[in-house]
Each structure stands twice: as structure tokens, then as C-alpha cells.
């Protein structure tokens, strides 16, 4: 009887270590993993290195095998968890995702794993763990229950492209871009996702689309953010890409009776320029070829 009680207690203690106080039991892989790590990085660092890498679309892990392809010491430069990183966005299905975050009780900081090309998951529990493991369960190494896993896609190159400065009265167009690639299909794009401060900008009528907007800078100087709300249907309504734009003072001067901007197209021959800012000391008039338009530029 005494031996039976001791065994039972040990079993209960083991289960508590796996599931915590309110979670569910998932497997903890004790056999050696498929790859021995060359640095002491933890789960989120492995996922970020795999999917972000050099931040230019080049990950540092082979998603067919889960094996690192880059110096693993660089994995240690990544910080933070996946769920709060603006380079990742929560998506609704595994098929749209490249990473999974088990979230027992809604807590997303404990663990994350990459999704390999064959649909299996690969992860390392913590920095002191020697191996990277493959597993079928997205909640492995955690006490998350079924349905408490969240799926994420990397979006480091989705930005708002366009002018960073605008003279008062100037029209400019901003566009949501993805480094020359089409925007992911999991994004619910809509023209009403654009937001800007009407104190600084006025929308040019009938120019706003699901991916671009044309604005006119008002007669107010200063910086203001223009944002686009990225929505997948599973990430809430508070995930934005932001583009700060500076409205420059309308004191640039006069070129042939009209406004003088940073660059102006002018004809060859004589052009009259009046400067209004003392910090501008001279203007260069450059002609590209005989009879062709030239550019006046402030320096």
C-alpha cells in the first residue's frame, strides 16, 4: 500500500507540471530532436529567425526541414514574442499561417512554433533545450487546450509607400505595398481602412481605393500620420500600418510667379526665382538637354 501511494503521488506531481492549474495536458517530447542547436535561442527567436530573417523576405530556416540555414548566433538578436510583434498578423486558418502560438488562458508569451511545408510543427521549448523538435500537435510543450492555439503570418514588408513630405497645396498618393508582391489574400482590404487627420490633409474626391489614397496637403505645417487598418477577420480592429508625412511650410519662394518646390520643371532660357527662406543660399538651374525641360532645385 505504501508503494502504491508513493507512485500515485509522483504521477500526480508529473501531471501538474505538464498541465498547470487550469490547462490541458499535451505531450512533452523527451526523445532527442531532429536537430542539435548551435546557440541557446528560445522558441520565439527560432520562429522569428525562420520567418523574418534579414527582414527582406529571406528567412534563416529551411521550412521544408526546420533546419537553420544561417548563423544561429544571429537568432539571439530577436526579442519579444510573436503575438505582439507588428511583423506578424493573426490569421484565421492554419493554411494562411506560417507560425502557431499556443495561448493557455489567453497568454501568448509561453511558446510558438513554425509550420513546416508538410504541415508539421517545429519548435524548441526554451534556450536551455538542446534540440529542435517536430510535432503534430500545435499545443505541444504547453498546457493550452484545444482551440487555444492562434495562427500567425509574417508581414514585415507590408508598408505604406509614397511621399514622406508634401508642400502645402500639393497632391500626393500613398499605397499599401508588399515589396512588389500582391497583398496577401487573407487581408480584408477596403477603401474605408484609410485614416488621416483632416486638419493636415484633404482627400481628393473619388481617388480612394482599397490599396491607395490621394490627399492634398492643407495650409498647415507639421507632421501627421496616415494609417491603414489591416484586418484579417481574426486580429481585431486595432492593427495598423502607419506613414508619417510632413507638411512643409509654404514659404519656399516663387518660380516664374508660381510656387517653388524642392523640384520644379522649367523651360530652358530665363527663369525668375525669388527665395523666402534665409537658410537657402542659392538655387541651381540644370538643363538636361537643349530645348528640354530642366529642373530647378533648392540646396
| Residue-range domains of the chain with CATH | 2-154 (no CATH), 158-248 (2.60.40.10), 253-298 (no CATH)
Q: How confident is the model at residue 265 (pLDDT cuts 50, 70, 90)?
A: confident
Judged against a pLDDT cut of 70, whether residue 261 lies above it is answered with no
Q: What is the pLDDT of residue 295?
A: 46
Judged against a pLDDT cut of 70, whether residue 286 lies above it is answered with no
Average pLDDT of 269-284?
Answer: 60
Q: What is the pLDDT of residue 250?
A: 61
Using DSSP's 3-state secondary structure scheme, residue 228 falls into: strand
- For 39-92, write each residue's pLDDT tens digit: 999 999 999 999 999 998 899 999 999 999 999 999 999 999 999 999 999 999
Judged against a pLDDT cut of 60, whether residue 259 lies above it is answered with yes
Put the strands of the sheet holding 253-255 in their side by side order: 258-259, 253-255, 273-275
Q: What is the pLDDT of residue 1?
A: 43
Q: What is the pLDDT of residue 272?
A: 78
pTM (two decimals): 0.78
Q: What is the pLDDT of residue 293?
A: 44
DSSP string, 166-210: EETT-EEEEEEEETTBPPPTTS---GGGEE--TTTEEEPTT---S
Percent of the chain with pLDDT over 70: 81
The Cα–Cα gap between 119 and 134 comes to 10
Task: Report the candidate in 102, 186, 85, 198 with the shortest Cα–Cα distance to residue 141.
Answer: 102
- For 20-29, write each residue's pLDDT tens digit: 335 899 877 8
CA torsion 98-103-106-110 (nearest 10°) is -110
- For 207-257, write each residue's pLDDT tens digit: 999 999 999 999 999 999 999 999 999 999 999 999 999 998 765 577 788
Q: How confident is the model at residue 15 (pLDDT cuts 50, 70, 90)?
A: very low
Judged against a pLDDT cut of 70, whether residue 291 lies above it is answered with no
Q: How far is CA 147 from the centre of its chain?
A: 25
Q: What is the pLDDT of residue 266?
A: 76
- For 95-136, write each residue's pLDDT tens digit: 999 999 999 999 999 999 999 999 999 999 999 999 999 999
Q: Look at 286 and 130; give whichever has higher pLDDT.
A: 130
Average pLDDT of 268-290?
Answer: 58
- For 150-183, write each residue's pLDDT tens digit: 999 999 999 999 999 998 899 999 999 999 999 9
Amino acid at each position: 500500500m505504501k508503494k502504491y501511494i508513493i507512485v500515485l503521488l509522483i504521477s500526480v506531481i508529473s501531471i501538474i507540471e505538464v498541465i498547470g492549474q487550469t490547462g490541458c495536458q499535451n505531450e512533452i517530447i523527451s526523445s532527442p530532436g531532429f536537430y542539435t542547436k548551435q546557440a541557446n535561442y528560445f522558441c520565439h527567436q527560432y520562429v522569428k529567425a525562420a520567418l523574418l530573417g534579414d527582414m527582406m523576405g529571406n528567412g534563416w530556416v529551411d521550412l521544408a526541414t526546420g533546419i537553420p540555414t544561417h548563423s544561429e548566433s544571429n537568432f539571439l538578436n530577436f526579442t519579444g514574442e510573436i503575438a505582439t510583434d507588428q511583423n506578424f498578423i493573426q490569421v484565421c486558418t492554419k493554411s494562411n499561417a506560417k507560425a502557431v502560438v499556443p495561448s493557455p488562458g489567453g497568454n501568448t508569451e509561453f511558446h510558438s512554433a513554425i509550420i513546416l511545408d508538410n504541415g508539421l510543427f517545429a519548435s524548441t521549448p526554451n534556450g536551455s533545450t538542446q534540440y529542435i523538435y517536430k510535432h503534430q500537435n500545435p499545443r505541444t510543450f504547453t498546457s493550452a487546450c484545444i482551440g487555444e492555439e492562434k495562427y500567425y503570418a509574417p508581414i514585415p514588408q507590408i508598408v505604406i509607400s509614397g511621399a514622406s513630405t508634401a508642400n502645402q497645396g500639393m497632391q500626393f498618393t500613398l499605397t499599401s505595398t508588399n515589396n512588389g508582391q500582391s497583398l496577401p489574400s487573407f487581408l480584408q482590404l477596403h477603401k474605408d481602412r484609410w485614416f488621416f487627420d483632416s486638419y493636415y490633409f484633404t482627400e481628393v474626391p473619388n481617388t480612394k481605393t482599397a490599396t491607395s489614397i490621394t490627399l492634398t496637403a492643407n495650409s498647415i505645417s507639421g507632421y501627421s500620420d496616415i494609417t491603414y487598418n489591416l484586418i484579417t477577420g481574426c486580429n481585431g480592429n486595432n492593427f495598423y500600418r502607419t506613414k508619417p508625412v510632413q507638411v512643409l511650410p509654404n514659404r519656399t519662394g516663387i518660380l516664374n510667379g508660381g510656387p517653388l518646390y524642392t523640384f520644379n520643371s522649367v523651360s530652358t532660357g530665363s527663369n525668375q526665382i525669388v527665395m523666402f527662406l534665409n537658410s537657402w543660399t542659392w538655387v541651381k538651374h540644370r538643363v538636361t538637354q537643349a530645348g528640354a525641360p530642366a529642373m530647378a532645385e533648392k540646396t
